[in-house]
Amino acid sequence: MAKTKRSKTTGPKQPRKSFSFKTSKRTKIIFGSFLILFSVGLFISFISYFFNWQADQSMLGNVLERGETARNWLSKFGAYISHLLIYKGFGVSIISLPAMLFVTGIYLFLNLKLFKIRSLWFWGAYLILWFSLCFGFFASSNPILGGVVGYEVNDFLQDYIGKLGVILVLIFMLIIYLVTRLNWTPDALSKSFSKQNENVKEEVSEVKFEGHTATEESEAKVTPSESPSSQDEDVEIEHSFSEKSPETPAEKEKIVIRSEDEDDVEMEVETAQDEEESDLLSKKLVEDFGEFDPTLELANYQFPSIELLKDYNSGRGITIDQKELEQNKNKIVDTLKNYKIEIAQIKATVGPTVTLYEIVPEAGIRISKIKNLEDDIALSLSALGIRIIAPIPGKGTIGIEVPNQNPSVVPMRSVVASNKFQNAEMELPIAMGKTISNETYTVDLAKMPHLLMAGATGQGKSVGLNVILTSLLYQKHPAEVKFVLVDPKKVELTLFNKIERHYLAKLPDTEEAIITDNTKVINTLNSLCIEMDNRYDLLKDAMVRNIKEYNTKFKARKLNPENGHKFLPYIILVVDEFADLIMTAGKEVETPIARLAQLARAIGIHLIIATQRPSVNVITGMIKANFPARMAFRVTSKIDSRTILDAGGADQLIGRGDMLFTQGNDLIRLQCAFVDTPEVEKITDFIGSQKAYADAHLLPEYSGEESGIGVDNDIEDRDKLFKDAAEVIITAQQGSASLLQRKLKLGYNRAGRIIDQLEAAGIVGPFEGSKARQVLVPDLLALEELLKKEQNS
Ligand SMILES: Nc1ncnc2c1ncn2[C@@H]1O[C@H](COP(=O)(O)OP(=O)(O)OP(=O)(O)O)[C@@H](O)[C@H]1O
């Protein structure tokens, strides 16, 4: 994952070239043939070494001497390498090395996937070591068998665990091999054991039978009508039985149960095998096909290059005006002096838009006194947008933020190119801009998990939204993230239309993916709620807690797509101008938004809501409570600032992307990155020109509350896909709603309704719990007849 991420993040610099081994096929053929020939040579050397090793022993010290001759069929090289690997190495077991090299060579030569032979290498090496140890133990007098490694390791082990310990280790290693590699289980042993012991069992059951009689008799013994002689007998039998088993009737039952238990154990073993098999199945699938790769359908997708973004500063970075710094410092010191506040120390940090002056007042000065001087300091500096942070959290100093006379733009390019963003180990990384200390600030949208954005008109909201969207376009493959865009202003997000079939999600049967009509928003929001419920069902079925775990499990092929499981992309709902939406649709949007905000975080649906008017009737308590992350551009009043941030400050910003951001705790002042419309256009053009999916990502169908829930057999009221659905069900002979969902791309609710209608029409049987419903019509011909009959009646 990290690997793919890296390749993606460096995408802009056309990294794929460096990563994709363009010449690798040729290299593989050459290297593969080398390995094949080398392994053959090695094998020949080994074989001939066994015949000639003693004769060649003497020349080993002078291998480099040209005059020396060796008897090995591969001469001095053969003699030397065999000596090294067999005598000084692992002994005869190393003979499997050429075989492993040979297979690897073949794989390379034929360009097959090498990961398939990982286990061959692992277990090959394991066996070499095991045999070497084994020979080293049992045939230590013959150095060729176990090699120096076998001998020395044995020697070492014996010093610590003794001979018996070594034998136990060898047995344990063998068991590991048998169980893991050969899937050997004690089951096989117990089966043969049970066969062998059938006769013995019979005898045992006979004994049991005897036992029964015996105890029955012993029960009878408590009846008063017994003769003393029979009592004696009973006692005797009872005693002979009690040696094997307990005396009371309850415990006697236990014996029977125990005898049944033996069967149960076998059955249990079978269940265990089943589990193992399914685990093995996923392992095998992964071995054969590799992990599921969601990006495979658009495998050649190229991430946009960083060159598409403009460098506004063209490498200049922030310019520090010493004179301005000095002047401001003097003004601050003088103003405070006027109010009898002495400063012990002052430090300036220059950011892109504001400079932070951190002051340490002399001992005994009250912080609130400085805080109250905000306006006076602003007046003396004759600057807007001064913000006093008293004290700076975690620092014990007082901060005075003063806007720079010449603020510098933070180009999107600089934040996208930053290491912080490129190497961000985040699910949905966003490069928001730069902090006051000029560091790139990245956040994970998945962790927020929803974002509320406010700012008066012209202060940088739309740019902020574009920054978020472009950040994700630079990091996430179209398979991994989908956007649902709501743009009542109709102009802000239109550029993203070009990437509809890559990155956008929409309702089925709608033309435009970007929603500009407020009434359609309601359907989309409800559809997202259905998607959320469906995803929760999938998560429940997969027994995972969140989308990340789910996708990991799906990639490891542990979830069966036949059961409706699929790779789940993140869905990000962006609403520009939320106030407008609330005005026109009111409660109808508020309820699904609040529901999504409350519940959607675990299943990968995240909301970003922007508004010009952060008044309390727009951002209601319910919405606020579920949007811990807030992004505030300049607003016009203190009240607005409080509504959005629960604190003042946003009214003192200077605009043009100057913003305050909080994720629920500290407020951070940031300069939002700047990305202009032409840049976004270039990016969307670049993505849009590449191969895309057949359609936008389809959200579940939502046909509105009024479309009727009651099920009756009224032909007029049937869903317009009723017949198609019937055909699908009959062809597959499987009455399940999820089948309809998949085949007809329907929402869960609609598919469920159709199934109910099919039941009312007598095409499928009644609900049978987790099983699919029975299909009552055998073929399509019978369906035609049935429908015709209905029409006529
Ligand atoms: N991060 C930024 N850096 C520099 N300039 C910015 C930044 N953000 C916005 N601006 C400037 O402010 C102008 C208005 O920004 P934007 O269109 O994002 O405002 P808005 O808040 O979306 O306004 P409205 O709500 O009316 O659409 C931009 O054209 C740009 O010149």
Instruction: List the CATH number of the domain containing 731.
Output: 1.10.10.10
CA dihedral 180, 184, 190, 195 (to 10 degrees): 180
Whether residue 637 is found in the same domain as residue 758: no
- Whose CA is closest to atom 31 on ligand 1? 656
Residue 586 annotated in ligand binding:
no
Q: Are 603 and 568 in contact (CB under 8 A)?
A: yes
- Angle, CA of 388, 392 and 394, to the nearest 5°: 175
- Whose CA is closest to atom 16 on ligand 1? 460
Asked if residue 645 belongs to a domain, the reply is yes
Q: 578-585 and 587-599 are packed helices; what angle lies between their axes, rounded to 10 degrees?
A: 130
Q: Which two tokens stand for residue 519?
A: 């009434």
Which pLDDT score is estimated for 197?
52
Whether residue 677 is found in the same domain as residue 756: no
Which pLDDT score is estimated for 222?
37
- Angle, CA of 169, 173 and 179, to the nearest 5°: 140
pTM: 0.58
Domain boundary among 383, 403, 423: 403
Which pLDDT score is estimated for 446?
92
Residue 76 annotated in ligand binding:
no
Residue 573: strand, helix, or coil: strand
Asked if residue 784 belongs to a domain, the reply is yes
Whether residue 176 is found in the same domain as residue 198: no
Which pLDDT score is estimated for 503?
94
pLDDT-flagged residues of the chain (< 50): 1-23, 200-277, 706-711
Whether residue 88 is found in the same domain as residue 159: yes
Asked if residue 463 belongs to a domain, the reply is yes
Asked if residue 308 belongs to a domain, the reply is no
Asked if residue 635 belongs to a domain, the reply is yes
Whether residue 160 is found in the same domain as residue 200: no
Mutation pick for ligand 1 pocket among 416, 459, 640 (CB with most ligand atoms within 8 Å) = 459
Whether residue 151 is found in the same domain as residue 55: yes
Domain boundary among 165, 184, 203: 184
Which pLDDT score is estimated for 769?
62
Domain boundary among 386, 403, 420: 403
Q: Find the residues whose C-beta lies inside 6 A of ligand 1.
A: 409, 455, 457-463, 612, 656-657, 672, 674
Whether residue 58 is found in the same domain as residue 170: yes
Residue 461 annotated in ligand binding:
yes
Asked if residue 518 belongs to a domain, the reply is yes
Mutation pick for ligand 1 pocket among 410, 462, 466, 677 (CB with most ligand atoms within 8 Å) = 462
Asked if residue 763 belongs to a domain, the reply is yes
- pLDDT tens digits for range 699-746: 988 866 543 344 456 677 788 888 889 999 988 888 888 888 888 877
Whether residue 534 is found in the same domain as residue 623: yes
* CA dist list (Å): 237 to 203, 211, 349, 670: 17, 8, 98, 92
Q: Which atom of ligand 1 lies closest to the CA of 407?
A: 4
Whether residue 158 is found in the same domain as residue 200: no
Rounded Cα gap, residues 218 and 237, in angstroms:
8
Which pLDDT score is estimated for 191?
58
Whether residue 627 is found in the same domain as residue 580: yes
Question: Residue 421 is part of a domain; what is its CATH number?
Answer: 3.40.50.300
Rounded Cα gap, residues 780 and 793, in angstroms:
20
Whether residue 11 is found in the same domain as residue 145: yes
Residue 123 CA, chain-centre distance (Å), reads 30
Asked if residue 615 belongs to a domain, the reply is yes
Residue 456 annotated in ligand binding:
yes
Which pLDDT score is estimated for 258?
42
Domain hosting 648: range is 412-691
How many distinct structural domains can be found in the chain? 5
Question: Residue 393 is part of a domain; what is its CATH number?
Answer: 3.30.980.40
Residue 496 CA, chain-centre distance (Å), reads 26
Rounded Cα gap, residues 606 and 106, in angstroms:
49
Rounded Cα gap, residues 790 and 102, in angstroms:
70
Residue 119 annotated in ligand binding:
no
Whether residue 781 is found in the same domain as residue 730: yes
